[in-house]
């Protein structure tokens, strides 16, 4: 089978770095275009020594133009900030190039919600109805037929996967859902920034983005779909002194106060029994970030608090792989007619 030729716009960020790592060993995808204004003119292997002697290492980093993408690529990954993808995607799609977008530009169905939370006008609102939210566990069939994929955010991936079974089995109330999430520092991006310097993060632990984190409406949108009713939830993210990983602890009121942990566990296993990447841990076990590092797995642990009548869900993912680049590859696999898990079947390093 002829290789799927792909481009990557935004090679220098952590998500771009992770995607380059995955594409270097992908059996069906060939990286033929890598874009960065700041690093234009360098060989990819020169910029990322870990890629030397691997496929794609001789690609010359260039500044993005739709013309180059049209000439070279079947598909382009846009690993760019919010506000950039909406300017790039229309021309790529018009040229017949499929797009997997890492930013939030096409995740939210409501233009007004996007503009409220991201503080800028949406310049490609005509594409919002065409974009498919790229969570394969929920939308695999739609993804396979799409040309524009809105790759989910990292926090939302952990939360939505954590809540899906509870929603589908009608276990929880739509009111008073609380989400407490912790992320490694790569989630804040690679650009030098005072709050993420080593001395600011090491031996420290802090919350940020209270009540206004931009992933909140994305989570609410998808959980509202699952529960078939509007949901307003509380989401609080925290920064922890580790490189990668997300742990989300989710609290939800049980509809049936007499619901047992065993019954909840059965519902979760029923939902995820055919999933290649969602692992429901045995009763009494809770997930840890180290066991999903660099993988596509989402590990879920469960508890029922009989005193407060709450379900407690602990959901763990790797923010760069499952929460960004790996999920983008899974979406690209689907829209290119390849197996969902192609190039993504790897386990976490043990130490």
List own/partner pairs for 16-21 with CB under 8 A and 24 or more apart: 16/79, 16/325, 17/48, 17/190, 18/320, 18/321, 18/324, 18/325, 18/326, 19/77, 19/79, 19/324, 19/325, 19/328, 19/329, 20/44, 20/48, 20/51, 20/56, 21/50, 21/51, 21/325
Give the C-alpha separation, 287 to 247, whole Å.
8
DSSP state of 322: I
Measured in residues, the chain has a length of 351
| Active site residue ranges | 154
């Amino acid at each position: 089978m002829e290789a799927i030729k792909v481009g990557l716009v935004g090679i220098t960020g952590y998500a771009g770095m992770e995607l380059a790592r995955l594409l270097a060993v992908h059996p069906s995808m060939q990286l033929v275009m890598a874009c960065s204004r700041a690093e234009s003119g360098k060989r990819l292997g020169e910029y990322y020594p870990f890629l030397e002697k691997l496929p794609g290492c001789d690609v010359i980093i260039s500044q993005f133009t739709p013309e180059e993408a049209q000439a070279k690529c079947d598909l382009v990954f846009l690993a760019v900030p919010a506000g950039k993808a909406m300017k790039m995607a229309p021309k790529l799609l018009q040229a017949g190039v499929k797009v997997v977008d890492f930013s939030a530009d096409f995740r939210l169905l409501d233009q007004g919600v996007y503009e409220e939370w991201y503080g800028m006008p949406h310049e490609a609102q005509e594409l919002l109805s065409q974009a498919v939210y790229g969570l394969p566990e929920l939308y695999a069939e739609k993804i396979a037929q799409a040309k524009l994929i809105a790759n989910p955010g990292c926090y939302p991936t952990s939360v939505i996967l954590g809540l899906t079974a509870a929603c589908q089995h009608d276990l929880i109330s739509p009111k008073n859902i609380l989400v407490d999430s912790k992320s490694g520092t790569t989630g804040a991006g690679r650009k030098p920034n005072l709050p993420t310097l080593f001395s600011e993060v090491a031996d420290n632990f802090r919350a940020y983005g209270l009540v206004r984190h931009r992933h909140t409406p994305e989570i609410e949108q998808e959980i509202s779909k699952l529960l078939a009713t509007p949901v307003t939830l509380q989401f609080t993210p925290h920064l922890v002194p580790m490189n990668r990983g997300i742990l989300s602890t989710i609290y939800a009121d049980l509809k049936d106060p007499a619901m047992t942990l065993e019954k909840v566990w059965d519902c979760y296993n029923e939902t995820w029994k055919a999933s290649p990447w969602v692992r429901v841990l045995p009763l009494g076990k809770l997930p840890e970030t180290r066991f999903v590092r660099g993988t596509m797995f989402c590990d879920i642990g469960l508890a029922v608090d009989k005193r407060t009548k709450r379900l407690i869900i602990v959901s763990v993912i790797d923010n760069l792989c499952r929460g960004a680049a790996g999920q983008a590859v899974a979406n690209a696999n689907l829209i290119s007619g390849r197996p969902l898990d192609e190039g993504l079947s790897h386990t976490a390093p043990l130490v």
